[in-house]
């Protein structure tokens, strides 16, 4: 009985400590991202767009992530002025790229943003970013959240939303086939 109580107390303490560490980690990620964003915001919009293009981001994805149209991105590329808010959004994306590359050693960040978070659900870091979930993108990149946890935080109903009516099976000929679940 005493061992059970001691074990229970330790589990509670570890759970509390784990939650405190996760909270501190999220706060630290957010703070470092904001600091890097302020540094990157000194660049011109044209330079920010060039860095994003060099990282492999498509204009349609950038437009979606920033919350503007593709023609707006094209105008900025030609040197037309953007709002301070949009400049800050571009700087924030560059800052996230910097953080992901330096801290989490992810290469080819543009391509990483396009990858589905989990097989079977067409949700990508682009989707998370577009939904103003930048810190969730950073947590995912850090490896401290598994794909299911990321999707649970982003959309708790993702399992039902992306559940397929089909399944794969090996046919009599030995080849993979698809059929309705039955």
- Summarised one tens digit per residue, pLDDT across range 25-65 is 889 989 999 999 999 999 999 999 999 999 999 999 999 99
Q: Which residues pair with 177 in a beta bridge?
A: 169
Q: 165: domain range?
A: 2-180
For residue 24, how far is the Cα from the chain centroid?
A: 19
Report H helices in 41-108: 45-54, 59-66, 70-77, 84-104
* pLDDT tens figures, 60-106: 999 999 999 999 999 999 999 999 999 999 999 999 999 999 999 99
- Number of domains the chain is built from: 1
* Nearest Cα residue to 125 out of 61, 58, 49, 29: 61
* pLDDT tens figures, 135-176: 999 999 999 899 999 999 999 999 988 887 777 889 899 898
pLDDT for 120: 84
Following CA atoms 34, 100, 111, 40 in sequence, which dihedral angle do they give, to the nearest 10 degrees? 40
Gap between the Cα atoms of 139 and 90, Å rounded? 20
């Amino acid at each position: 009985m005493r061992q059970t109580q001691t074990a229970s107390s330790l589990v509670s303490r570890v759970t509390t400590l784990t939650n405190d560490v996760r909270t501190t980690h999220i706060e630290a990620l957010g703070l470092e991202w904001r600091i890097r964003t302020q540094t990157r915001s000194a660049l011109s919009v044209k330079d920010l767009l060039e860095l994003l293009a060099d990282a492999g981001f498509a204009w349609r994805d950038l437009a979606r992530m920033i919350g503007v149209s593709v023609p707006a991105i094209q105008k900025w590329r030609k040197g037309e002025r953007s709002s301070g808010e949009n400049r800050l959004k571009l700087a924030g994306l560059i800052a996230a790229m910097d953080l992901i590359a330096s801290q989490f050693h992810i290469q080819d960040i543009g391509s990483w943003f396009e990858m589905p978070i989990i097989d079977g659900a067409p949700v990508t870091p682009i989707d998370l970013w577009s939904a103003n979930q930048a810190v969730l993108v950073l947590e995912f990149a850090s490896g401290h959240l598994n794909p299911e946890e990321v999707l649970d935080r982003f959309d708790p109903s993702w399992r039902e939303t992306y559940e397929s009516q089909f399944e794969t099976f090996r046919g009599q000929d030995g080849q993979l086939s698809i059929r309705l679940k039955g």
